[in-house]
Structure 1
């Protein structure tokens, strides 16, 4: 059966072909990021760190906030205490663009995540050229071999990697690769259903306290944040609820709950 993810990846493959026709992507040197390390800043934080996301739309929700100005929204996020900004750069399904990321990274001093469906090294180079300091790699979208290859190429470019998993098999792959920042997505990419228990069940399998664990999707209330913090998450990624609220500071501050460090007594 054709799923959301299947359709997105088919479209993404066509986009990659067009990227290889852009001479500037092939020849322009990448810039060194001046943003702080997401890993280091999340490890130092004694509260749940928040990646606040700029997301105009999604395949499951449709339009969320089409009229948003990404630089202004990113500044609101940073001023409210966000530890990092995620920018959805996929256009067909999320109505974002790489230009959104360029604009955002010029306007904030926290790490900026390029959130897209990355299948090819040229997307890594484009993200780096645009000013991303972190990229998303999705285990469900890649073979283990391709995932490992892209992980190594991303780190060679000076990019941090948020490696996203959804189940035990994908988590085992992430751990075998040596991922230092692991995202546990509570949203099933096949059905788009959300369940916070995904984080609770998978985080128990991560024994290394030096990993940074980000719980993704499904956060609206303080109880939601406390639930994954208690499980041992270092941070959360939040998009839709922040994009819909008129009170970004209030919505964000209620999710900044104390963390429970894995491996602590």
Structure 2
């Protein structure tokens, strides 16, 4: 685990300990299990791809550790609506909302606001280190959770996936190299994200996805993450048979994120 990733995960452990004091585990679990009707995250991506379009998970992100504040005028509901509409023809399949406070200037309310303003399924983008967070994600309104292989061992990933699926949430498992990919493929989720950003150096190389694609079984839905900034990048991926994308920064810097999405994927 890289220094920055270890630092983030260590902070998460502290955050979860504090959260459990405010809302005990049993209470959070009961609340999560009482929630009904998630939106079909995987189905929304597959539906776009079935139409011949890219399945885009559009990110709602104010800041990042590497870039600082990306979007000062940050309104999650407006951004989410812009993504849902796109240009009227091309639009997002799903949303990804950052809820980490310390490193990405996110918060749980951003997820709630984004989901309430659209009909799109929503991924909680955060760093999961404890099963408590899976229940917490459902209470926030998340339809899908992110499991980062570099943060978790196999037993943790399997337990968190089982909890998520029991709550009718989808799981996006994120990897960066071949070893992490083989671990991720032990899970049941069809959603496998390949992060083109090296979390040790923060350098980005979109060839990372293409190099690992050959090892991803056909029944999995491969999502390329990070570094998709131009139509050439999109073409490179789609020519390689990769049709699902998680994109954030490219849209967050645009005045109308949904129009920027449509232009990138037209």
TM-score by length of 2: 0.91
> Partners in 2 of 1:150 and 1:52 — Cα distance?
24
- Alpha-carbon deviation of 1:178? 2.6
Distance 1:83 1:23, change over 3 A: same
> Partners in 2 of 1:179 and 1:249 — Cα distance?
28
| Range 94-103 or range 64-73, more displaced | 64-73
3-state SS in 1 of match to 2:21: coil
Match of 1:79 in 2: 85
Is residue 99 from structure 1 mapped to residue 87 from structure 2 by the alignment? Answer: no
Is residue 90 from structure 1 mapped to residue 94 from structure 2 by the alignment? Answer: no
3-state SS in 2 of match to 1:29: helix
Matches within 5 A, 1:1-265: 3-23=3-23, 26-27=26-27, 28-30=30-32, 31-35=35-39, 37-44=40-47, 45=49, 46-80=52-86, 81-208=91-218, 210-256=219-265
3-state SS in 1 of match to 2:202: coil
Unaligned runs of 5+ in 2: none
1:89-136 alpha-carbon deviations (Å, 9 max, x no partner)? 000000000111111111110110000000111111111011110110
1:186–1:217: 8 Å Cα contact kept in structure 2? yes
Q: CA RMSD in A?
A: 1.6
- Alpha-carbon deviation of 1:201? 0.6
TM-score by length of 1: 0.91
- Alpha-carbon deviation of 1:2? 6.2
